[in-house]
Amino acid sequence: MPGLEDLYREIILDHYRNPRNRGELDAPPAHRVEGFNPLCGDEIIVYLDVDSDRIADIRIAGQGCSISQSSASMMSSAVKGRTTEEARAVTRAFKAMMSIHESSLDGEPDGLVGGADGSGGGDGDVKLGDLEALRGVVKFPVRIKCATLSWNTLAQGLDEATEPV
């Protein structure tokens, strides 16, 4: 049986205790997107300020377990200041890391997991950095949803923010 240290790496606990980019942005002009994990009641709210294709600012609100909160915190650091295309590439790479079990768990129809096969193009070069610490989550299949909640919410936010008007 995998041990707790496989799941709760030090860097994860650090992001949980000291979440980055916590707070809210005025929406509008920012985009506000909510994500729910109906299984456990975790809720996440992502605020995105997208300025000509770049994520100028991002804030995270809501509540959840250490895995969902730390994943959201790391996500916000990873995509802040990046272009929406870059943010999508990181999202695909992260979801690929998590998708090993997720697709077989419930076949989530969000179309993002598709990027896992490399069809996103060049995602193999994406450096996940600190996010690698979340790799241990796949050994705890019920917690994968916690780790991907903020990313699914971000993906939805990016789609809304970049929709042609």
Partner 1 sequence: MKLDVARIRKDFPILEQTVADRRLVYLDSASSSQKPRVVLDAMTDYYETTHANVHRGVYGLAVEATERYEGARDRVARFIGAPSSRGIVFTKNVTEAINLVAHAWGRTNLGPGDAVLLSEIEHHANLVPWLMLAEERGVELRYLPMADDYSLDLSDLDRLVDGVKLVAVTAMSNVLGTLTPVRRLADAAHAAGALCLVDGAQYVPHLPTDVTELGCDFLGFTAHKLCGPTGIGVLWAREELLEAMPPFLGGGEMIRDVRLDGFTPNEIPWRFEAGTMPIAEAIGLGAALDYLDGLGMEAVREHEVSLTGYALRHLTERFGDELTIHGPAEPSARGGVLSLALRDVHPHDVSQVLDQDGVCVRAGHHCAKPLMRRLGVGATARASLYVYNDTDDVDALADSLGSASDFFAL
| Contact yes or no for 59/20 (Cβ under 8 A) | no
Least distance CB 17 / partner 1 (angstroms): 6
Q: Which is closer to partner 1, CB of 1 or CB of 165? A: 1
Distances (CA, A) of 79 to 15, 63, 72, 102: 15, 20, 11, 23
Other CB atoms closer than 10 Å to residue 105's CB: what's the count?
12
Task: Report how far Cα 69 is from the mean position of its chain's Cα atoms.
Answer: 10
Is the bond preceding residue 19 a cis peptide, omega within 30 degrees? no
Least distance CB 131 / partner 1 (angstroms): 19
Q: Which is closer to partner 1, CB of 17 or CB of 51? A: 17
Residues of the shown chain interacting with partner 1 in the complex, contacts defined by CB under 8 A:
1, 3-4, 7-8, 13, 17, 39-43, 63-67, 69, 140, 143, 146
Q: Which is closer to partner 1, CB of 12 or CB of 97? A: 12
Least distance CB 124 / partner 1 (angstroms): 32
